[in-house]
Structure 1
Amino acid sequence: MVRHNNQLPNNLTQLQNLIKRDPGSYKEEFHQQLAHFETTLEIFNLNPTQYSKKLDEQAMFLAQVSQCYLNEMKFFPQKIVDVLKTHNTILHNDMRLSLCKCLILLRNKNFITPFDLLELFFQLLKCQDKYLRDFLKTHIITDIKNINMKHKDMKFNSTLQNFIFSMLRDSNARAAKLSLDILVELYQKNIWNDHKTVNIIADIGCFSKVTKVMVASLKFFLGKDEEEKEDSDSDDEIDPRDTMISNKFNKKTRKREKMVEKVKKVAKKMKKKKQKAPSFNFSALHIINNPQGFSEKLFKQLESSNERFEVKLMMLDVISRLIGLHNLFLFNYYPFIARLLMPHQREVTRILQFAAQASHELIPPDVIEPVMKAIANNFITERNSTDVMAVGLNAVREICSRCPLAIDEDLLRDLVQYKSYKEKSVMMAARSLIQLYRQSMPNLLHKKDRGRPTEASLELKSKKYGEIEIKSHIPGSEILLEKSQLKDKKKNIKKQKKGDDSDSEDWIDVASSDSEIEIPTDSEYSDNEGIEEEESDNECGNNEDENINESSINNEDTPQENESVNLKTRKILKAKHNKTHEKEEKTKQAREIAMETIFTDDDFKRIEAAQVKKQIKGIKRKNVIEEETDSNGELVQLSAIENIHKKRKHDKNARLETVMKGREEREKYGYKDRRKSINCSKTNREKRKTKNFQMVRHKAKGKIKRSFKDKQIAFRNYLIKQKKMR
């Protein structure tokens, strides 16, 4: 091999390439460069504020070839670390960045432990160099992710977490904020998504004296789950198969072609989503160790806080979510938020959302009473605008969907009176409140507002405060036993039909067996409507008997009336007895079938269908309110409170904006100029369209065909005119 000793000391790139190929042959040159580096480093330490290009090149060269000479390079990483630790704040930006890159290169070759390097980098986050801070943040996250790629190194994670948690308490606001950002990003990437990370952010971050750290911690807890982050586009609702088939027969246009291409992309996305395994990611609020203590401490900080209004709103939001998710008791929260419930208050809809989020079934009604009174007195009054009234009614509905006992009977019946209000927004909000209590506690509503009774509504039992209904069976499972009995009966009928010649009797039996499980028609409901309404109105048997006795006492005037009343009471009592007997039999059947059989997916589908039928039976289509509130969600959607049934785009500019948006990618409406060149001449017919009407009026009039009578009159007038002229 030919050696160029005279060029190698100056050409480090060439020397680096040669050393990597043959380390033993170029050992002397390497020792020479190592000695040069140590000399240059001593000179640099005398004046560390200046950028040294020579030191930069030599340090990078030694880092590149360090794996070739392990013994000689043992102390090289420590020398660079010492420089960065000693002069980290006064170093030149380029010099500091270059030395950090050298250390990353040495870390990849295992010359320095990951913890030592990351500890140094966290200390360098205090430097006033934005580019360096971003660079170090990216490297820290990537390095921790690579370490935990195959399996989680619990010892390393625990040591590094403790160090990062100490950085959160650092007096340097910049370093504390970046440390928190790294923690949050590692949690979101599912690298450090354990309860330890969450609880340290809760205990240290949310109560930090640095406002930026506190706000970032609150935003972390207000973050959404993975499923909520995915935007539910309207394109996902399009069935690609239907669109492709319709495109075969419809007129081919440019807009339809674009639509088909879009649908194909959506179909691919939907296919990928189906192939992916479902991800279940709980939000950070679920894994807090002591939610009650955390919420109390945060509320105490809120009461004595001098932060701006937006930060206070974030604190209110976190507290309300904690109360709703964990069913906490924080009684001072409700009078505090009730003081903010005024129509002119800034962000009042969000405050109403927090009030709804902080309600659950275990809150005593007298505790949440100040909130309900504040909404009723300040929002739901006719001196306010209709939008304010609708927002207030929507907020009441959202609170009552989570805590049905929050409102008393008198206030509920007063609010329900707005069901016939002149403005649609208020009317629909009041009707949604009626619909909610029809499904939860219909006895609080007036009899005329309960609607036609259904099987599901008759089975409803109004719960008292703190009462829990424990089911000893699967509701609706009795339908499985009925179907099996029906099959057995049909088999027996077929056997009898084969042995017996009389077909008519067998058909009668089938009809009777079918009628046992047949859904009652409207006519049947109309016959028994009075009985069912009487039962739904008076759920307790004692009250019903008292009402019957009172009616019989009041109607003792004539014997005929007395007899009719007695007949009516007997019918009611008989119907009630039959209903209770049927209910007991159904629950007994459901228990038996749950103990004896293992349910399949088809069985559960039948049970679900039977439960749906119970809710549908006896309800007319026109009485069903289209808007249904979803009280199953853990968090209250702001759109549920701001949902005002009204056309919002009522001004001219807003309407024009939607019109112009609809005209995009559409051909120009009106007469189409079919000339190949714009400069070509037009026909007389086309020119006539641009002329004034008075200029072409005589031509338009002349082309009209006159009747024979009109021609006679015109000729007569002509002759008279000629005669006068003579």
Structure 2
Amino acid sequence: MVRHNNQLPTNLPQLQNLLKRDPASYKDEFMQQYRHYISTKLVFEMKPDQYNKDLDDLVMFLAQVSHCFPQDLVGYAQELMDILQRHPTTLHPDMRKTFCRALILLRNKNLISPTALLTLFFQLLRCPDKELRAFLKNHIITDIKNVNSKSKNIKLNNVLQNFMFAMLKDSNVTAAKMSLDVMIDLYKKNIWNDQKTVNVIATACLSKTTKIMVAALQFFMGSDEKEEDSDSDAEDDNVIIKEVGMAARVNKKSRKREKQMERVKKTLKKRSNSKKAPVFNFSAIHLVRDPQSFAEQLFKHVEGMNERFEVKVMALDVISRLIGIHQLFIFNFYPYLNRFLQPHQRDVTKMLLFAAQASHELLPPDVLESVVSAIVNNFVTERNSAEVMAVGLNSIREICARCPLVMNAELLRELVEYRTSKQKSVMMASRSILQLYRIINPEMLPRKERGRPTEAMSELAIRAYGAVDAKDYIPGAEALNPDIEGAAADDEKEESAAEDESDGWEDVTQSDDEGWVNVSHSDDGEVVGSDSEADGSDEDDDEEVDSDEDDDEDGSEASGDEEDDSDEEGDSEEEESEDGGTIETRISRPLSKREKKKQKRINKDLKRSKKKTVPAAEDPTLIEERKSKAATVSLSRILTDKDFAKIDAAQVKKTLDASKARQKRKLADDLDDTIKRGELVRLDDIEKVYKKRRHDKDSRLTTVLEGRADREKPTRKPKRQNPNASTTNREKSKKKNFMMLKQKAKGKQKRSFKDKQIALRNALLKQKKMGLKK
């Protein structure tokens, strides 16, 4: 026992273990170590830049057992903090990190207040020690997260936020940048996601230091989503996948190995998804306290900025988002943006994106007219390529979707004329503008371009500048009324039955005896070869929604004479046909292409004449009845998510033509995307350029073969000048049997060291035998 006690003063880990088990029995040994610590500390403070191994061990020892003797170590934490405050930069790096680790241990044991420790750690961020700064940053984030885990500690948060606000203005750029990173990480982890944090970060956007300004701008852009935790988790997952793959390779081969690998990957994917905290990319912009003044200050800062072009682009992005979301008025922003709207400009699509994001309904149309005219003059011209024109038309569409009054009828007519362009990208971009104004303001279009009237057009109220269309009911709530809902269900059943019967195709049957031809059409009136053939555009385009909707478009102009003839024949043959879907015509010869077109047109006209009633969109009494029923439903019940889904489906159905039953599924998604636009513009919507292949595989192969027709066939050079000369050994070897050449082919291969040893041994034995024989 005596020997055991004599070892305690030098064996601190053993003493630490015994003190945690029985503090009272070993208090004398503890006090001995504490006195040794005081004397060693006094010696260390004379030369703080030198490493002291004894003090390092004693500091960690006292921190580990501090909870056993809290009364004796009352001033221990303050002593360590005083050393760090007196010599923050002159301390030896290892000693400084040891003091910080000891303070963290005391904080984990709740022996020190978080305010004092975190304030000290923020001051230590000025130290030129990268490893220490990363260590302190992780602890600050973890400690604040633990403090606010159960409930928000508002008092502590306010103190730390005020201190961080002061740190952002610190002369030390590294400390200010680290403080900003801490606040951004806390916001992304939903710990400090309040208005005060966002506005403190907003002040960093006006910083003169580029690093701080870029970090704050990326926070508001929502593009800086790289997290160290996610990277480390991904590395761990890769290690696990490699280990499982190696085990599967080594173990017994079976079919279970592939299933096991897939199961491991799915488990890791679920685990990584569960660990990720929700990231709200754009909610921070909504929490800015005074967006108007903040955007003005940021724009003034951009005008006098001498930074790189990428930094200026990020600042313009944040300004455009502020203008679009908060509907701000910064009239100088648009003339400044016009100088960048050139096809040769670097990142010009982003500049067009900023112009679209900075447009809203409350903006005077005169302000945006300069932007639209600049885009039209610089992009939508015949001297540019099809891609440039398509990008320009797409950007105009996005601007007009947010500020419809910026477009005038004359300019709209010119842009819509590009729908007949031979370039598919230009044609599709122009048709998207046409479709947009069919929904938001069809009166601006020429009469023949408006399409068939729909229920949505009758309910559409075109608002003047500054007008507000406030409703006392939920639009589309009448779909929840049993009467209307039942009627809609009946209509859908009729349409589906008609589709099942004919599916929109002609059923042509010809008997051998009489020579009659039966041509049947679907109830929705879709006929192949009328408008679509004359238009000359592709039928499989995703956004080609107006190819068959207008009777007075290009297709009708191209075949106007045929329509007159078909109308005359329709009157005579309408008497012979008893049902509206079949026409029987006596012919004595095969039908020509022209006659087939006429018959299709006659059937189409008969269908329309039979269904020709007053459309629901033109009946004002029915519109008022729907409004009253929608108001009744809105006030009489609480709507659920399923109810709102039905309302949305009914609203989309109103935008569709009732006679186009087969196109409803195809157009529902496109129209829904056109009506429901997010508060931010996507870059893909502007850069969306359609390209059409000139040839398919067969036509390209035909073109290749045609190009080879005039080419001379390749001929080989003669093997030898004299055809009667003898052959070489190489040529003879090609005709020999393989068994004759097997040994020679084997000799050319690389031999292993063992084979060489065996060959040498055999050669020496053979040589020895030959010598003995001689």
What TM-score do the two structures reach when normalised by structure 1?
0.69
Q: Distance in 2 between matches of 1:292 and 1:323?
A: 8
Q: Distance in 2 between matches of 1:575 and 1:72?
A: 92
Shift of 1:594: 4.6
**CA contact 1:324–1:634 (8 Å) conserved in 2:** yes
Q: Distance in 1 between matches of 2:351 and 2:693?
A: 22
Correspondence for 2:75: 75
1:645 counterpart (670, 683, 690): 690
**CA contact 1:201–1:217 (8 Å) conserved in 2:** yes
Residues 1:300 and 1:17: Cα distance change in structure 2 (over 3 Å): same
Task: Tell me, yes or no, if structure 1 residue 632 matches structure 2 residue 677.
Answer: yes
Q: Distance in 1 between matches of 2:404 and 2:45?
A: 74
Residues 1:385 and 1:22: Cα distance change in structure 2 (over 3 Å): same
Residues 1:30 and 1:590: Cα distance change in structure 2 (over 3 Å): closer
What TM-score do the two structures reach when normalised by structure 2?
0.65
Residues 1:381 and 1:25: Cα distance change in structure 2 (over 3 Å): same
Q: Distance in 2 between matches of 1:137 and 1:469?
A: 51
Shift of 1:11: 1.3
Shift of 1:318: 0.6
Q: Distance in 1 between matches of 2:273 and 2:354?
A: 33
Q: Distance in 2 between matches of 1:267 and 1:81?
A: 46
Q: Distance in 1 between matches of 2:166 and 2:413?
A: 57
Residues 1:581 and 1:635: Cα distance change in structure 2 (over 3 Å): same
**CA contact 1:225–1:283 (8 Å) conserved in 2:** no
Q: Residue by residue, what CA displacement relative to the aligned partner does 1:91-132 show, whole Å, maximum 9, x if unpaired?
A: 111111111111111222233211111111111111111111
Correspondence for 1:656: none
Q: Secondary structure at the match of 1:127?
A: coil
Correspondence for 2:741: none
Residues 1:416 and 1:287: Cα distance change in structure 2 (over 3 Å): same
Q: Distance in 2 between matches of 1:283 and 1:580?
A: 42
Q: Distance in 2 between matches of 1:101 and 1:2?
A: 34
Residues 1:597 and 1:627: Cα distance change in structure 2 (over 3 Å): closer
Report the number of matched residues: 551
Correspondence for 1:216: 215
Q: Secondary structure at the match of 1:384?
A: coil
Shift of 1:480: 5.4
Shift of 1:267: 11
Q: Secondary structure at the match of 1:430?
A: helix
Correspondence for 1:143: 143
Q: Distance in 1 between matches of 2:64 and 2:10?
A: 16
Q: Distance in 2 between matches of 1:289 and 1:387?
A: 41
Residues 1:649 and 1:124: Cα distance change in structure 2 (over 3 Å): farther
Shift of 1:423: 1.1
Shift of 1:162: 1.0
Task: Tell me, yes or no, if structure 1 residue 617 matches structure 2 residue 621.
Answer: no
Q: Secondary structure at the match of 1:98?
A: helix
Aligned residue type for 1:615: T
Correspondence for 1:583: 623
Residues 1:54 and 1:485: Cα distance change in structure 2 (over 3 Å): closer
**CA contact 1:56–1:98 (8 Å) conserved in 2:** yes
Shift of 1:39: 1.5
**CA contact 2:456–2:654 (8 Å) conserved in 1:** yes
Deviates more, 1:186-195 or 1:592-601: 592-601
**CA contact 2:352–2:395 (8 Å) conserved in 1:** yes
Residues 1:198 and 1:593: Cα distance change in structure 2 (over 3 Å): closer
Residues 1:10 and 1:479: Cα distance change in structure 2 (over 3 Å): closer
Shift of 1:260: 12
Correspondence for 1:357: 357
Aligned residue type for 1:353: L
Residues 1:649 and 1:152: Cα distance change in structure 2 (over 3 Å): farther
Residues 1:277 and 1:522: Cα distance change in structure 2 (over 3 Å): farther
Q: Distance in 2 between matches of 1:39 and 1:268?
A: 53
Correspondence for 1:296: 296
Task: Tell me, yes or no, if structure 1 residue 107 matches structure 2 residue 147.
Answer: no
Task: Tell me, yes or no, if structure 1 residue 394 matches structure 2 residue 400.
Answer: no
Task: Tell me, yes or no, if structure 1 residue 201 matches structure 2 residue 198.
Answer: no
Q: Secondary structure at the match of 2:4?
A: coil
Q: Secondary structure at the match of 2:390?
A: helix
Aligned residue type for 1:374: A
Q: Residue by residue, what CA displacement relative to the aligned partner does 1:319-355 show, whole Å, maximum 9, x if unpaired?
A: 1111111111111111111111111111111111111
**CA contact 1:49–1:92 (8 Å) conserved in 2:** yes
Q: Distance in 2 between matches of 1:68 and 1:405?
A: 76
**CA contact 1:361–1:402 (8 Å) conserved in 2:** yes
Aligned residue type for 2:375: I
**CA contact 1:9–1:33 (8 Å) conserved in 2:** yes
Q: Residue by residue, what CA displacement relative to the aligned partner does 1:367-407 show, whole Å, maximum 9, x if unpaired?
A: 01111011000111111111111111111111111111122
Q: Distance in 2 between matches of 1:49 and 1:270?
A: 49
Identity score, percent: 55
Structure 2: runs of 5+ lacking an equivalent: 231-253, 491-522, 531-548, 552-611, 696-734, 739-774
Q: Secondary structure at the match of 2:149?
A: coil
Aligned residue type for 1:209: K
Correspondence for 1:496: none
Q: Distance in 1 between matches of 2:550 and 2:694?
A: 44
Shift of 1:209: 2.0
**CA contact 1:416–1:431 (8 Å) conserved in 2:** yes
Aligned residue type for 1:452: R
CA RMSD of aligned residues (A): 3.9
Structure 1: runs of 5+ lacking an equivalent: 231-253, 491-519, 527-531, 535-571, 651-683, 688-726
Q: Residue by residue, what CA displacement relative to the aligned partner does 1:478-525 show, whole Å, maximum 9, x if unpaired?
A: 4555717989xx9xxxxxxxxxxxxxxxxxxxxxxxxxxxxx9659xx
Task: Tell me, yes or no, if structure 1 residue 431 matches structure 2 residue 415.
Answer: no
Q: Distance in 2 between matches of 1:11 and 1:575?
A: 97
Q: Secondary structure at the match of 1:10?
A: coil
Shift of 1:87: 1.3
Q: Distance in 1 between matches of 2:205 and 2:311?
A: 11
Aligned residue type for 1:612: V
